[in-house]
Amino acid sequence: MIFLIELSNHIAGRLLIPQPTQHVVPPHSTTAFYAYLSADLSHTGQGQIIKFDVVKTNAGNGYHPFSGTFIAPETGYYAFSWTSRIKHYGSTGEDHALELVINRDVYGSIYMKSLTGEDGQATGLAIAHVNQGDDVYIQTHHHDPGSGDIRSDVYGRSSFAGWRLY
């Protein structure tokens, strides 16, 4: 009988010991998008926003395919990636430059040139702090319209993607 009393006192004593405070971390909302062109773009001109019309991922609903613009649903550091292919037409070669634009400021750019009768491709990656409501998009170079088509087909997609790092 004495053994049971000691055991119950031992258990009761353990229950009275305060437990350490646990910090509850709220679940992180996910913001990520990936979209590509459904077909080649011809005669793009300079400073034209590229509207990547096939949306495969749009967590957070920040990417708007009708305008080609990502509107940040929350402030944070983001990674942005954009890839473009160029369609080669003739012996003189073709070239294009695409720019990553954040609130009308060019933040990054890629350039591709094809001289050999082959198609060309380039990819850019940038990390940027973006505030909630900021606009992010891809446009053709603001001074040079380039030549040739921006290509997107089953052999390779011209695309735009972004995701919130933290």
What is the distance between the alpha carbons of residues 41 and 62, in angstroms, rounded to a whole number? 23
Nearest to 69 by CA among 38, 35, 106: 35
Two structure tokens written together for 14: 């353990």
pLDDT score for 74: 96
pLDDT score for 45: 83
Which positions ≥6 away from 23 have C-beta within 8 Å?
none
Per-residue pLDDT of the chain (166 residues; tens, 9 = 90+): 555 555 555 555 555 555 555 544 445 678 999 999 999 988 788 999 999 999 999 999 999 999 999 999 999 999 999 999 987 766 667 788 999 999 999 999 998 887 766 777 899 999 999 999 999 999 999 888 777 788 899 989 999 999 999 9
- DSSP notation for 104-134: TEEEEEEEEEE-SSS-EEEEEEEEEEE-TT-
- One-letter amino acid at 10 equals H
What is the distance between the alpha carbons of residues 78 and 147, in angstroms, rounded to a whole number? 31
Q: What does pTM read for this prediction?
A: 0.80
